[in-house]
């Protein structure tokens, strides 16, 4: 790791780096993890006559390129929902992703998410690996939807786009977060895509939210 903004935590004896750009680095596996990119969501809205700028796709890919350049992992795992829908698969979106894959020296694997299942057969050949089921990576269990890990594994997943609502007397703010559920041995990643919405999680006993805000990762304990 070089010159990287990160919040390093130890969770079940594992060293994890929560990156301020909504990604996770696993030093012991030399793997970078992101979830819920939802490329082509703007194009899906455009197909319904809603004018959303397509620039968001390139911005997401530029962020991912920047992370790969800084972290230089051996592997990149996308924990599901790389694309948003069949309407996302326009030439510009597919070409941008194909170019990204051909430029990177990192091995890229997609764990197929619920959005991906609907369109996987419509994808052209792309230079990446596809995983239909959860992936065991050492003592980590990588998945799209939450899984119950066996033995002492730590489940790392996506899918729910966790956010926390912070309130003051006059205002409230919803912010993406890394969500830890110790009783389930689970860490849920925030959605990497910038145009994805979020599900508000409850901070109860044995939970913790690491909130991403203005380039920092800040811990909020539940209970």
pLDDT surpasses 60 at 37: yes
Relative to beta strand 75-78, strand 216-221 is unpaired
What does pLDDT average to over the chain?
A: 88
Q: What is the pTM of this model?
A: 0.91
List pLDDT tens digits, range 117-175: 988 888 989 999 999 999 999 999 999 999 998 888 999 999 999 999 887 777 888 89
Q: Which architecture does CATH list for 6-221?
A: 4-Layer Sandwich (3.60)
Rounded Cα gap, residues 217 and 223, in angstroms: 20
Lowest mean pLDDT among 84-88, 97-101, 104-108: 84-88
Rounded Cα gap, residues 128 and 73, in angstroms: 15
State the pLDDT confidence band at 1, using cuts at 50, 70 and 90: very low
88 and 40 Cβ atoms separated by less than 8 Å: yes
Locate 185 and state its tokens: 């041995």
Query: In 78-157, which residue ranges form alpha helices assigned H by DSSP?
Result: 91-103, 114-117
Q: Tell me which residue of 65, 43, 38 sits closest to 54, measured CA to CA.
A: 43
List pLDDT tens digits, range 188-197: 999 998 866 7
List pLDDT tens digits, range 7-16: 889 899 899 9
């Amino acid at each position: 790791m070089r010159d990287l903004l990160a919040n390093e935590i130890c969770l079940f004896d594992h060293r994890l780096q929560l990156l301020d750009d909504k990604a996770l680095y696993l030093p012991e596996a030399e793997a970078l993890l992101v979830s819920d990119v939802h490329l082509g969501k703007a194009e899906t809205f455009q197909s319904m006559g809603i004018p959303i700028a397509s620039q968001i796709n390139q911005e997401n890919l530029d962020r991912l390129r920047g992370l790969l350049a800084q972290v230089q992992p051996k592997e990149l795992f996308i924990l599901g929902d790389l694309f948003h829908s069949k309407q996302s698969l326009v030439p510009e979106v597919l070409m941008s992703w194909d170019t990204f894959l051909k430029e990177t020296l990192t091995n890229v694997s997609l764990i197929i998410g619920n959005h991906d299942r609907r369109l996987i057969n419509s994808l052209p050949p792309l230079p990446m690996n596809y995983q239909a089921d959860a992936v065991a990576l050492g003592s980590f269990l990588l998945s799209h939807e939450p899984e119950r890990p066996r033995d002492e594994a730590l489940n790392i997943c996506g899918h729910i786009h966790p956010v926390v609502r912070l309130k003051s007397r006059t205002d409230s703010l919803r912010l993406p977060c890394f969500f830890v559920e110790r009783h389930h041995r689970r860490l849920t990643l925030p959605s990497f895509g910038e145009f994805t919405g979020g599900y508000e999680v409850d901070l109860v006993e044995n939970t913790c939210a690491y909130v991403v805000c203005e380039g920092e990762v800040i811990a909020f304990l539940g209970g």
